[in-house]
Amino acid sequence: MHPGGNSMIRFSRRIFTDLAIYMMGFGLVIGFVFPFFMTLLGVPVSYTMQLWFFIVCIIAGLIVGAMNILLARSVVGSRLHLIANKMKQIGGYLSSKSHEAIVATCSMQECMVEESEFQYGPQRIRITISGGVTSWPDFDASSADALVKRADESLYAAKEGGRNRVAVL
């Protein structure tokens, strides 16, 4: 189990690939179970237990899985792309300067993650992200844990500084 506590099996290094595998697998399971469910609802076995009915149900389940994948990529993927591009910009800024220069010059323009809003039904959803940065050997850490602790302190400093920004300690 990884730090987030999620025990889902990973099939690849790409989250949308894993999501697609799970969605298609779920669609396949639903397509297989559907004929039995229809029998429980009173549809005659002479219809529900035919090979063609199983095949049609499985195909329908796969189509629903594929539509879910497209929807997830469209809604979530485009927003993640915007955030990733901004984080690359901030990363480029941070990697081009010394630790002292970053601490002295990290302004709202360079270190603030732009807000991303999107419409989801009747709601407008706002996406923000905060980040904490520290660097080695600028911060003389006695261990990897000390370096991670310092980055964690930077993260909380970013949140306390107004959220939706990157803080450097």
As a whole number, mean pLDDT of residues 110-117 equals 58
pLDDT band at 2 (very low <50, low <70, confident <90, very high): very low
On whether residue 85 sits in a domain, the answer given is: no
Rounded to two decimals, the pTM is 0.50
DSSP line for 25-44: HHHHHHHHHHHHHHHHTT--
* 22 vs 147, more confident: 22
Q: What is the pLDDT of residue 3?
A: 47
Over the chain, what is the mean pLDDT? 77
Domain that holds residue 60: 1-79
As a whole number, mean pLDDT of residues 147-165 equals 79
In tens, the pLDDT along 46-94 reads 999 999 999 999 999 999 988 988 888 887 777 777 777 777 777 777 6
42: left (phi over 0), alpha (psi -120 to 50) or beta: left
On whether residue 105 sits in a domain, the answer given is: yes
On whether residue 86 sits in a domain, the answer given is: no
Total domain count for the chain? 2
On whether residue 54 sits in a domain, the answer given is: yes
Same domain (yes/no): 111, 148 = yes
DSSP 3-state of 54: helix
On whether residue 89 sits in a domain, the answer given is: no
